[in-house]
Amino acid sequence: MFLKTVRAAFVSSMPVLMGYLTMGMAFGILLATQVKGANGLTAAVMSFFTISGSMQFAAVDMLRSAEDYSLFLTAVLALVINIRYAVYGLPFLRTFRPYPRPLKYYLIGALTDETYAIETQDRRRGRDKRLYLFCVSFFDHMYWVAGSVAGAVLGNMIPFDTAGIDFAMAALFIVVLVDLCRDRSNHIPAAVGAVVTAAVLGVFLVFFPGHFNKLLLPAMIVTIAILLALRKKLQSPAEVRE
């Protein structure tokens, strides 16, 4: 029974294996080549405690020009980039409630897009489900950490010129955006974010050249304001839950 469940969890996590290993490696390479003094340990700590691709790729850019980021600004950016996690736990509120604390906290802390997708589809019950959920979370978590560390070690050994490799960050965000845009309801919010950022960028280009990394906060404030104003229009009746 025990081994059978562990094996089932491993099989479920297989599609995530390659994705997390390679994406983790991309993150590690980027971190090691862009941030001075970053190594396998840095990558391990970040990946172990954060487990969020978009957050960690954005973190590389922020750490690179760390002097421009106060801890407050860092917290605000992290909050907005990861706001979706605030609703991820909802389907599991009841499931996790009777679980022992350490297990419950781990399952909550390790919840990512991919793990969420696997775990919400599971129909198991009782002890078997506990073990299954833990194994899926743990396997996915370890793939991500392992990939990141390998990438960081590799990144510190790359002998050739890595100028331009930081475009991988832009590429990752483009990939995430393209996938989000397969859902029509994301089009308008995405357009708002893009247009506002482009406008703020234009202002910075003219008035504060060389300070691009300060534009995210104003762009974010304007975007949130517009999205709040558009709430009635964007929230379709189907999405309003009673």
Q: Which residues in the 114-153 window bind other proteins by CB under 8 A?
A: none
Q: Which of 6, 74, 129, 154 touches other proteins by CB under 8 A?
A: 74
* CA–CA distance, 45 with 51 (Å, rounded to integer): 10
CB 146 within 8 A of CB 128: no
Q: Which of 9, 26, 32, 149 touches other proteins by CB under 8 A?
A: 26
> Nearest to residue 143, comparing CAs of 1, 29, 15, 235?
15
| H-state helical runs in 181-215 | 187-207
Q: Which of 126, 159, 210, 237 touches other proteins by CB under 8 A?
A: 210
Site stretch for other proteins (CB under 8 A), options 5-13, 120-128, 140-148, 203-211? 203-211
Give the pair of three-digit tokens for residue 85: 């996690």
Task: Say whether residue 79 binds other proteins (CB under 8 A).
Answer: yes
For 48, 95, 176, 221, the CA distances from 129, given in Å and listed in that order, are 24, 9, 30, 42
User: In whole angstroms, how close is the CB of 169 to other proteins at the nearest point?
Assistant: 5
Q: Which residues in the 173-202 window bind other proteins by CB under 8 A?
A: 173-181, 185-186, 189-194, 196-198, 201
> Nearest to residue 112, comparing CAs of 87, 94, 137?
137
Nearer to other proteins among residue 59 and residue 145 (C-beta): 59
Site stretch for other proteins (CB under 8 A), options 5-13, 128-136, 144-152, 230-238? 230-238
* CA–CA distance, 238 with 234 (Å, rounded to integer): 11
Q: Which of 1, 36, 206, 238 touches other proteins by CB under 8 A?
A: 36
Q: Which of 62, 135, 149, 152 touches other proteins by CB under 8 A?
A: 62
Give the position of tokens 């990394």: 213
